[in-house]
Chain A
Amino acid sequence: MFSVPSLRIACLNRAGLNPPRLLRNRLPVPNAPTGNSSCVSTCCHKKKGTWHGNINFRGLGKERGLFYCNNAVFSLRSCSTTEVKLNCWKCKQLLVETPPFFCNSCQTIQPPEERTSYFKIMDCDYTFTLDTQKLQTRYLQLQRSLHPDNFSQKSVKELEYSESQSALVNKAYKTLLKPLSRGLYMLELEGMHLDEGTDSEADPDFLLELMEINEALAEAQTPEEANRIGQDTKGKLADLIVQIDAALHKGELHAARTLLTKMKYYANIEEKVKEKLSEFM
């Protein structure tokens, strides 16, 4: 039985793709709602016998099916496909931007919405090919407004929100910047991961080739030799990027995963080349 004084509730409805979010307990102030969200949901089930009364359901304005949920803990197993509409925690106005970093009405910083895709955050198309210049510009633009240094004079809550937002933007930028991490993230969004254990589908000839490259690199006596291997690897990586883009474009996830696995091996070699070259210096 929960009896938490004040909570912010948001319902996530995205065709059942995302698991339910548990409500977060903000700075508990007795009897003061810290935030409201209006949820449009066609079905909403409570977690097995774990919530405590105190729910106010009231229709809001013209929209049918909207309700505010105050002072209750429950996780929603939502199965509707309508969009989440969040309200500003301060002025309660509806947030219109996606993702809503700041409230349109009162300009207050908002906490990051969980499970927003990095592509949405960085305002990039959901494709493997990405304009890294545009990404960088967006990154700098976002950090200029979100960085905690700008919130040192504001409330503790706003500072906290800016810290989370800024950290999330950092993570999104880092993930989308490199093709390997970008591709793996895209697979992750589709529910696919790289094998944790041994590669059961590995091509033995490919592994042999990797062994030979690694051995050659380890035995390289001059920076030129190491460089040659480096250039070779770069070429292979460039090739793979083209193939991965094609596979993801066609939605061939298994093919993309195999290619990304290959990319991982070559990326490791690239790292070792850098280490080797620094040894020579």
Chain B
Amino acid sequence: MAAAAAKKCLSPLALLTRRLSAPDFITQSNYHQKVVDHYENPRNVGSLDKSSKNVGTGLVGAPACGDVMKLQIKVDDQGKIIDAKFKTFGCGSAIASSSLATEWVKGKTLDEALEIKNTDIAKELSLPPVKLHCSMLAEDAIKAALADYRLKQHDGQQEAVRASN
């Protein structure tokens, strides 16, 4: 009888009707809520001007699931990220991860943004183990955007040096 009850607990439909008392049930329903929230109320979806010197673009892909993710940051002269936009084509967890990433980088300096770890994203969204790679993808997208920005800045500086010579 206990085994049958346990089996029922694992069924998602049962989750809706049963009283959620055990902690892991609460985690499961939270995961749904947070990820679904990002999916239904997307924040920061869109594009920034790729050619602008203040914009860094990170474009990453995940072969196993075929997801593609673009994350862009706009940086002011003080080195602070003032805007971020994303576009992700993939599963709900990937979309939520990148959406959360754009929320988190806003207001951070470049070095602070570099500190964002996929484990933080996964924890915040309560991602199940099978979706951890989505948070990894988001972290890589942030890093790619930062790297792209730095490269542009570096190139810009080199050009300025050449021009002054």
Flag if A197 contacts B61 (CB, 8 Å). Answer: no
Question: Which residues on the A side are within 8 Å of B59 (C-beta)?
Answer: 204, 207-208, 211
Question: Which residues on the B side are within 8 Å of A267 (C-beta)?
Answer: 66
How far apart are A279's CB and chain B's nearest CB, in angstroms? 16
**How many B residues have CB within 8 A of the partner chain?**
18
In the complex the two chains form, what is the Cα distance from A231 to B140 in whole Å?
32
Flag if B89 contacts A199 (CB, 8 Å). Answer: no
- Tell me the nearest residue of chain A to B144, going by C-beta: A198
Flag if B63 contacts A264 (CB, 8 Å). Answer: yes
How far apart are B39's CB and chain A's nearest CB, in angstroms? 14
Instruction: Mark B121-142 against chain A: 1 for CB-CB distance below 8 A, else 0.
Output: 0000000000001001100100
Flag if A198 contacts B68 (CB, 8 Å). Answer: no
In the complex the two chains form, what is the Cα distance from A261 to B63 in whole Å?
5
- Tell me the nearest residue of chain A to B148, going by C-beta: A204
Flag if A207 contacts B68 (CB, 8 Å). Answer: yes
Interface residues of B in 66-85 (CB under 8 A from A): 66-68, 70
Let me know if B5 is at the binding interface, CB within 8 A: no
- Tell me the nearest residue of chain B to A206, going by C-beta: B61
Contact of A198 among B70, B89, B137 (CB under 8 A): B137
- Tell me the nearest residue of chain B to A265, going by C-beta: B66
Let me know if B60 is at the binding interface, CB within 8 A: yes
Contact of B60 among A196, A207, A214 (CB under 8 A): A207
Interface residues of A in 237-278 (CB under 8 A from B): 261, 264-265, 267-268, 272
Question: Which residues on the A side are within 8 Å of B133 (C-beta)?
Answer: 196-197
Flag if B70 contacts A211 (CB, 8 Å). Answer: yes
In the complex the two chains form, what is the Cα distance from A195 to B66 in whole Å?
11
Let me know if B64 is at the binding interface, CB within 8 A: yes
Let me know if A140 is at the binding interface, CB within 8 A: no
In the complex the two chains form, what is the Cα distance from A207 to B65 in whole Å?
14
Flag if B66 contacts A198 (CB, 8 Å). Answer: no
How far apart are B83's CB and chain A's nearest CB, in angstroms? 19
Report which A residues bind B (CB closer than 8 A).
Answer: 194-199, 202, 204, 207-208, 210-211, 214-215, 218, 261, 264-265, 267-268, 272
Report which B residues bind A (CB closer than 8 A).
Answer: 59-68, 70, 87, 89-90, 133, 136-137, 140
8 A-B interface contacts by CB (under 8 A): A197-B62, A197-B136, A198-B61, A198-B140, A199-B62, A207-B61, A268-B66, A268-B89
